[in-house]
């Protein structure tokens, strides 16, 4: 396994947990920019998905996952299990996305 496996379950079928490396996390704090905020305000008048905010959150989640994965790799883990996301408002117009999970070393069964 050269890639880090990421899962939101406690164990992966076909693998055994050999070592528990501890909690790992990655976060990303992003603020809305003026252009996105103006477009979202206009879209809010007519309804529908706020695509610019969706893209902003997707980018933030990906950054948080990459930071968490980097931390797991630095510990010597080859997987992160029980992964969760949370978000919090940091300031007006700014939010944090936090990805966290348990770094482990997995061994493939059989």
Q: Tell me: domain 5-108, CATH 3.30.110.70, correct?
A: yes
Determine the pLDDT at residue 47. 67
pTM for the model:
0.83
In the chain, what percentage of residues exceed pLDDT 90?
A: 63
User: What distance in Å separates the CA atoms of residue 107 and residue 21, rounded to the nearest whole number?
Assistant: 14
pLDDT at residue 48 greater than cutoff 50: yes
User: What distance in Å separates the CA atoms of residue 109 and residue 19, rounded to the nearest whole number?
Assistant: 15
41 close to 109: Cβ distance less than 8 angstroms: no
pLDDT at residue 1 greater than cutoff 60: no
Determine the pLDDT at residue 110. 86
Q: Which are the contacts of 94, defined by CB distance < 8 A and separation ≥ 6?
A: 29, 30, 31, 32
Q: What tens digit of pLDDT does each residue of 11-47 get? A: 899 999 999 999 999 999 988 665 555 555 555 566 6
């Amino acid at each position: 396994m050269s890639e880090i496996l990421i899962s939101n379950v406690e164990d992966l079928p076909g693998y055994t947990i050999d070592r528990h490396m501890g909690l790992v996390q990655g976060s990303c704090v992003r603020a809305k920019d003026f252009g996105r905020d103006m477009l979202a305000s206009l879209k809010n008048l007519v309804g529908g998905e706020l695509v610019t905010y969706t893209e902003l959150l997707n980018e933030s989640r990906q950054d948080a996952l990459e930071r968490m994965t980097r931390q797991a790799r630095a510990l010597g883990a080859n997987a992160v299990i029980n992964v969760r996301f949370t978000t919090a408002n940091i300031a007006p117009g700014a939010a944090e996305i936090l990805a966290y999970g348990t770094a482990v070393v997995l061994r493939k069964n059989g």
